């Protein structure tokens, strides 16, 4: 016998399936590594849709044409997934002392109903309002790094990590840990406590590589953001140092945990949350990578290429939408474009295109529509000009992370990645800005309407 909650769940699932078949349901994956701006992006996206103001969204056709009737937050459809805290995040941004909301440390979802008047097809003929169901899924981008591990066994993954750890810039920080791990393996005596300590030290090493060197391709991603798995035995492994030895008890134990991690953590996470995605936006903090080094930029390029290889791409027809959905449209967006003057933003687009070029080949081959945009989910600066020795120079005015109000020229941005010697001579220093004082809702943004047009425009005609 079914109770009322079971019937309600079944009805919800049936309704979602029907809307997917009628192309009235979109699941949007918001992808991006730590500090790429996922939380700010989803908060701003939600805020713009709930207000639907033509003055704020002039390049979102359904709004500009007066066909948009509004949006409404709906109950979270998945009882085991936390709700994305849009209103809490908005309250922090618009407070008397505004602050950025905490970064993503787990998965969350938000469902919106978007009501509009169609202008084409049978629905447009009858001029009846239509509701598009939009599910936005937020999650730590670091977890996506582990999807590539599904194609590897423990020996293959360890060999891959050994190569990375033996090369600069990782080598200088990883040397001591590699010696300790090699000594443990060569000892050949299984010691669970020692293995667990080495796994914790490896997690600490990954954190240092991210914080001190600005690197991105760091596996396992759950070691950086373990969430509810913190301290769990399934995280007690690390890459083998030395030649693989299937007869070594230490190797056997680590390989076993590695397979458990793939099956119980990575594969389950993928099946439960990402196999059904329809659209994807990939947020990239290109300026943060440039601030660190050329090596950080190239490491970000590697991480993005590996992440995107693991997604299912392909055009969706009716049957695929019902039973085997595929991502059919991907937007790559360079975030925090307001840290540059308007004159510098075309160069940011060029750099973004260079960064994602290796990832684009398999996506475009599958016939996927790809968009490239530079945006700011929440504008933190005002652009203008300042006189210096009789010359007008473009500048930005904003509030730095320490609260100081400044007017500055952030520097020139090249349209392509400079050589290594550039960082030895000069490098980049694009400052981070805090949310401006007196920020209101709808949030001031840069090109969020263009992002909405690419991601949802074809669904709201």
What is the per-residue pLDDT across 38-68, written as a single tens digit (0 to 9) for each? 999 999 999 999 999 899 999 999 999 999 9
How many domains does the chain contain in total? 2
Residue at 390 is within a domain: no
| pLDDT > 80? residue 23 | no
Residue at 448 is within a domain: yes
**pLDDT at residue 299, as a whole number:** 95
**pLDDT at residue 21, as a whole number:** 47
Residue at 402 is within a domain: no
- Considering the domain architecture, whether residues 162 and 135 belong to the same structural domain is answered as no
**Interval 279-303: pLDDT, tens:** 999 999 999 999 999 999 999 999 9
**pLDDT at residue 309, as a whole number:** 78
Residue at 230 is within a domain: yes
- Considering the domain architecture, whether residues 265 and 294 belong to the same structural domain is answered as no
- Reduce the secondary structure of the chain to three states and give it as a string: CCCHHHHHHHHHHHHHHHHHHCCCEEEEEEECCCCCCHHHHHHHHHHHHHHCCCCCCCCCHHHHCCCEEEEEEECCCCCCCCECCHHHHHHHHCCCCCCCCCCCCCCEEEEEEEEECCCCHHHHHHCCCEEEEEEEEECCHHHHHHHHHHHCCHHHHHHHHHHHHCCCCCHHHHHHHHHHHHHHHHHCCCCHHHHHHHHHHHHHHHHHHHHHHCCCCCCCHHHCCCHHHCCCHHHCCCCCCCCCCCCCHHHHHHHHHHHHHHHHHHHHHHHHHCCCCCEEEEEECHHHHHHHCHHHHHHHHHHHHHHHHCCCECCCCHHHHHHCCCECEEEEEECCHHHCCHHHHHHHHHHHHHHHHHHHHHHHHCCCEEEEEECECCCCEEEEEEEECCEEEEEEEEEECCCCEEEECCCCCCCCCCCHHHHHHCCCCCCCECCCCCCCCCCCCECHHHHHHHHHHHHHC
- Considering the domain architecture, whether residues 192 and 50 belong to the same structural domain is answered as no
Length of the chain measured in residues: 461
- Considering the domain architecture, whether residues 136 and 158 belong to the same structural domain is answered as no
Distance between CA atoms of residues 184 and 341, nearest Å: 53
pLDDT category, 315, cuts 50, 70, 90?
low
Residue at 396 is within a domain: no
- Considering the domain architecture, whether residues 21 and 158 belong to the same structural domain is answered as no
Q: Which of 224, 240, 269 is the last residue of a domain?
A: 269
Higher pLDDT, 82 or 362: 82
Q: What percent of the chain has pLDDT over 90?
A: 70
| pLDDT > 50? residue 20 | no
Average pLDDT, the chain: 89
Q: Which of 269, 301, 322 is the last residue of a domain?
A: 269
- Considering the domain architecture, whether residues 221 and 349 belong to the same structural domain is answered as no
- Considering the domain architecture, whether residues 140 and 22 belong to the same structural domain is answered as yes
CATH number (domain holding residue 104): 3.40.50.300
Q: Which of 245, 269, 293 is the last residue of a domain?
A: 269
- Considering the domain architecture, whether residues 40 and 114 belong to the same structural domain is answered as yes
pLDDT category, 168, cuts 50, 70, 90?
very high
| pLDDT > 90? residue 320 | no
**pLDDT at residue 2, as a whole number:** 45
**Interval 76-99: pLDDT, tens:** 888 889 999 999 999 999 999 999
Average pLDDT over every residue of 337-361:
93
Average pLDDT over every residue of 377-385:
95
- Considering the domain architecture, whether residues 182 and 289 belong to the same structural domain is answered as no
Domain that holds residue 37: 14-144+275-381+438-460
**Interval 321-332: pLDDT, tens:** 545 567 899 999
- Considering the domain architecture, whether residues 203 and 262 belong to the same structural domain is answered as yes
pLDDT category, 146, cuts 50, 70, 90?
very high
- Considering the domain architecture, whether residues 111 and 206 belong to the same structural domain is answered as no
Q: What percent of the chain has pLDDT over 70?
A: 90
Residue at 8 is within a domain: no
Residue at 138 is within a domain: yes
Residue at 9 is within a domain: no
Lowest mean pLDDT among 141-145, 292-296, 432-436: 141-145
- Considering the domain architecture, whether residues 325 and 453 belong to the same structural domain is answered as yes
């Amino acid at each position: 016998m079914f109770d009322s909650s079971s019937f309600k769940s079944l009805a919800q699932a049936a309704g979602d399936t029907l809307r997917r078949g009628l192309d009235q349901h979109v699941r949007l994956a918001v992808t991006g590594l730590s500090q790429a701006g996922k939380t700010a992006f989803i908060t701003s996206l939600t805020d713009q849709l709930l207000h639907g103001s033509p003055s704020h969204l002039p390049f979102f056709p359904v709004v500009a044409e007066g066909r948009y009737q509004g949006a409404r937050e709906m109950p979270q459809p998945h009882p085991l997934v936390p709700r994305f805290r849009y209103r809490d995040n908005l309250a922090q941004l618009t407070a008397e002392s505004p602050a950025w909301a905490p970064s993503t440390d787990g998965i969350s979802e938000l469902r919106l109903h978007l009501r509009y008047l169609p202008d084409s097809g049978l629905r447009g003929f009858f001029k009846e309002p239509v509701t598009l169901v939009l599910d936005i899924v937020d999650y730590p981008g670091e977890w996506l790094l582990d999807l590539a591990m599904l194609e590897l066994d423990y020996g293959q993954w360890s060999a891959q990590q050994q190569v990375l750890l033996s090369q600069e810039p990782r080598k200088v920080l990883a040397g001591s840990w590699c010696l300790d791990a090699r000594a443990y393996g060569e000892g050949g005596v299984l010691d669970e406590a020692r293995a667990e300590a080495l796994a914790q030290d490896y997690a600490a090493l990954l954190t240092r590589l991210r914080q001190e060197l600005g690197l991105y391709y760091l596996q396992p991603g759950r070691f950086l953001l373990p969430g509810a798995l913190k301290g769990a035995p399934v995280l007690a492994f690390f890459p083998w140092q030395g030649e693989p030895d299937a007869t070594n008890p230490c190797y056997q134990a680590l390989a076993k945990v590695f397979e458990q991690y793939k099956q119980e953590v990575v594969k389950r996470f993928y099946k439960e949350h990402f196999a059904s995605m329809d659209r994807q936006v990939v947020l990239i903090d290109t300026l943060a990578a440039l601030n660190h080094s050329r090596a950080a930029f190239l490491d970000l390029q590697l991480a993005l290429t590996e992440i995107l290889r693991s997604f299912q791409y392909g055009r969706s027809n009716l049957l695929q939408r019902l039973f085997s959905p595929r991502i059919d449209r991907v937007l790559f967006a360079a975030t925090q474009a307001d840290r540059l003057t308007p004159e510098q933003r075309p160069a940011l687009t060029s750099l973004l295109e260079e960064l994602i070029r290796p990832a684009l080949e398999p996506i475009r081959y599958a016939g996927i529509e790809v968009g490239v945009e530079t945006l700011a989910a929440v504008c933190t600066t005002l652009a203008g000009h300042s006189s210096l020795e009789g010359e007008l120079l473009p500048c930005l005015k904003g509030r730095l992370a320490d609260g100081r109000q400044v007017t500055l020229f952030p520097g020139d941005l090249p349209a392509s990645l400079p050589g290594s010697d550039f960082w030895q001579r000069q490098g980049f220093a694009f400052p981070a800005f805090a949310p401006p004082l007196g920020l209101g809702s709808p949030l001031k943004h840069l090109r969020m309407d263009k992002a909405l047009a690419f991601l949802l425009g074809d669904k709201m005609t």
